[in-house]
C-alpha cells in the first residue's frame, strides 16, 4: 500500500480537485475556505450526533447556496473540512481505492452540500459505497 499522504498533500489533492471543476462551479467553490485537519473537532461530532470520529471524513460548514439570502449576516466564511485520519481509515478499509480518488470524492461531496445538494441527492449520481 502506498504511503499515507500528509495534511499538505491532502490539501493539494483537494485544491487540484476544485481546480478541475467546470469554470462556473469552480468560481463558486473557490469562495469557500478549504481546511484539512487530522481529526474532526469534538464539538463538530457532538453537534452532528456522531460518536465515532472515524465516521466523519469531511464536513461542509455554512449556508448552502440554495438557502442563502441577502438578509443573512455571515458569521464567517463557508468552510469545507477534510479529516485526514478518517479518510486514511476509509482508504485502508477499502483497500483498492486510490487515495487521490477518495480525497477527490470527499472534496466533491462536501462542495455538493455547499451547492445545496443533500446526501440523498448526491447518492443519486454517486453511489460511492457500492
pLDDT tens digits along 44-62 = 999 999 999 999 999 999 8
pLDDT number for residue 74: 66
Q: Is residue 128 a part of any domain in this protein?
A: no
Q: Is residue 71 a part of any domain in this protein?
A: no
Please give the chain's pLDDT, 130 residues, in tens. 678 999 999 999 999 999 998 888 889 889 899 999 999 999 999 999 999 999 999 999 987 767 676 666 767 789 999 999 999 999 999 888 999 999 999 998 898 888 776 767 666 666 555 5
On average, the pLDDT of the chain sits at 87
Q: Which range marks the domain in which residue 17 is found?
A: 7-63+77-122
Q: Is residue 25 a part of any domain in this protein?
A: yes
Query: pTM here?
Result: 0.86
The total domain count for the chain is 1
| Other residues' Cβ atoms within 10 Å of the Cβ of residue 36 | 23
- Closest alpha carbon to 112 in 62, 48, 39: 62
Parallel, antiparallel or unpaired: strands 79-83 and 33-37? parallel
pLDDT in tens, 100-111: 999 999 998 898
Measured between alpha carbons, how far is 11 from 103 in angstroms, rounded to an integer?
A: 9
pLDDT number for residue 90: 95
User: What CATH number should be reported for the domain holding residue 19?
Assistant: 3.30.2010.20
Amino acid at each position: 500500500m502506498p504511503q499515507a499522504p500528509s495534511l499538505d498533500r491532502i490539501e493539494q489533492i483537494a485544491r487540484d480537485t476544485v481546480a478541475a471543476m467546470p469554470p462556473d462551479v469552480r468560481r463558486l467553490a473557490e469562495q469557500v475556505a478549504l481546511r484539512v485537519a487530522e481529526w474532526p473537532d469534538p464539538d463538530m461530532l457532538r453537534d452532528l450526533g456522531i460518536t465515532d470520529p472515524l465516521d466523519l471524513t469531511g464536513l461542509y460548514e455554512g449556508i448552502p447556496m440554495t438557502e442563502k439570502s441577502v438578509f443573512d449576516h455571515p458569521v464567517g466564511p463557508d468552510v469545507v473540512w477534510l479529516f485526514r485520519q478518517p479518510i486514511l481509515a476509509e482508504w485502508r478499509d477499502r483497500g483498492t481505492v486510490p487515495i487521490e480518488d477518495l480525497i477527490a470524492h470527499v472534496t466533491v461531496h462536501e462542495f455538493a452540500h455547499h451547492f445545496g445538494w443533500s446526501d440523498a441527492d448526491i447518492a443519486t449520481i454517486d453511489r460511492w459505497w457500492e
